[in-house]
């Protein structure tokens, strides 16, 4: 809190910092909800037609296309749900990041190369990758099962806490 005789700009800056500090929990929460929902929905679609996904993976030259199609569809479906809940956030964000790297190197490669460097965020897998990496590094935030589990277990790590 600035001293009472602080100027209006300093008081306004202090107010802005207090407000943004109080709302900091929203960044990881909203990221988990949006990214998790996106993966859950695409995973559900892939699980509905694994044959089509297997054919697509075959056309990309991905090894063991049937097994990889089932794995990726399940990872997206369940990983998306777990991101929404904030359970195993860093683990599932990492696994889904790996999936996005493979997507950028295979299916999205032509679009990514064409858009890079002017606007790589036009490629959805790149945008997802950025948010997933952020979740791996930052954590799930204070409104997550991970956070409550870490408190309950008495872990002293910064799981889910903002700095």
Q: What is the pLDDT of residues 108-162, one digit of tens each?
A: 777 777 666 666 666 688 889 999 999 999 999 999 999 999 999 888 655 545 4
Contact status, residue 97 vs residue 35, Cβ threshold 8 Å: no
Token pair 């997550």 is found at 144
Contact status, residue 40 vs residue 77, Cβ threshold 8 Å: yes
Q: Comparing 96 with 162, which gets the higher pLDDT?
A: 96
Q: What is the Cα–Cα distance from 71 to 43, expressed in whole angstroms?
A: 10
Reported as a single tens digit per residue, the pLDDT across 21-48 is 999 999 999 999 999 999 999 999 999 9
Q: What is the pTM of this model?
A: 0.81
List C-alpha distances in Å: 90 to 33, 72, 83, 86, 95.
14, 17, 9, 9, 9
The two structure tokens encoding residue 78: 């369940």
The two structure tokens encoding residue 52: 């089509």
């Amino acid at each position: 809190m600035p001293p009472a005789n602080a100027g209006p700009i300093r008081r306004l800056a202090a107010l802005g910092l207090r407000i943004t500090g109080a709302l900091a929990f929203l960044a990881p929460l909203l990221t988990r909800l949006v990214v998790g929902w996106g993966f859950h929905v695409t995973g559900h679609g892939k699980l509905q037609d694994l044959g089509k996904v297997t054919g697509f993976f075959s056309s990309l030259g991905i090894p063991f296309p049937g097994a990889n199609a089932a794995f990726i569809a399940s990872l997206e479906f369940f990983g998306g749900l777990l991101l929404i809940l904030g359970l195993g956030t860093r683990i599932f964000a990492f696994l889904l990041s790996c999936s996005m790297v493979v997507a950028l190197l295979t299916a999205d490669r032509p679009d990514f190369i064409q858009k890079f460097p002017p606007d790589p965020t036009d490629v959805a897998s790149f945008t997802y990758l950025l948010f997933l990496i952020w979740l791996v590094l930052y954590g799930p935030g204070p409104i997550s099962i991970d956070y409550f589990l870490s408190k309950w277990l008495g872990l002293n790590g910064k799981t889910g806490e903002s700095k």
